[in-house]
Structure 1
């Protein structure tokens, strides 16, 4: 078995899977094997989880770098910027586009994990990895955070009103005093999250009588529930 085939097998993918499939497989497996989900007193499983996470990270990084390399254009002429390839010479740059601070801010988050107070209103952050980021008091109103990985994220005091958190992973997130009014929380995992004082008025958490949000071990003391009642 080649190294490439081994990486695909680690991520439980078929050879030739797309970058989107690689990213999704990575998030699914990290969610399953994250050491924080394993009892601390189970040394054998903790060690196995650490080894799994290490292999998953390596496979994801290798496959992503390989696909980016293969997608990079090659030039027989002197180098010109990649975005010029759709133009016939002489090259004329496209007109400047208005800045989109939310997207730019997310890109810089790879180097700077402190995004407190940033404006991500209406931003498309679906499938992003925001785990461990400091988004306290950030404006995420109306943002698309579906399938976003936000393990141990700091969302204290953040504005998440009308945000789409469908299937978002908010395991152990700090969401004290967060504004979650009318947010879509269907399928979200809030296990172990700190929701003290959060406002969930009108948030979607049920389908009929069925609760569709994971709240195992979540702290809801003083939180305003979707029906307006204050959790004791």
Structure 2
């Protein structure tokens, strides 16, 4: 069964307030992620990014407790929240539509701790750039479709990184050791979100475009430091 399109009015762009970036979803909805704050399947209206530096996270710091305090001071303990050391001012966005379904991706892209899947390199000494992606989908999904959309977003992220041709001693970069993705969509009866569906097409194209733009920015500013070689 095809769910009715649930596109809200055009959403506001992400709000940059360093060291924070905020994506307001306009209404409370299910969000699926493995984010530092409120991981799993939760209901939230906001997805946040918190930029950090090495000095913010000294050795032996309880990061979860630290972030709890940061969010409490901002009145945002209800938000799903990512952590990253990349420059959040260089966030990228992309929208795509297929079969009347809209998907929007917001990404922050850093590759200072890039990895090739199935292998591990020593922890990077110059920060945790990471890739954090929030995807907002304008159609109601079942829990299974939400999981499938998450897999499509992950595939699109990997494809965009591999297209950049970044080589590591262990093989082509496919992501970083601390990537995170959040999928936000209303409840609904759309059962499938794979590559043969409009939902999957829109999610895949939006994420691929946003991540590709982020990789290009990362490379253009010279901060890539040859991905673990600098």
TM-score (norm 2): 0.21
Greater strand content: 2
Query: Whose radius of gyration is greater, 1 or 2?
Result: 1
TM-score (norm 1): 0.21
Higher relative contact order by CA 8 Å / sep ≥ 6: 1 or 2? 2
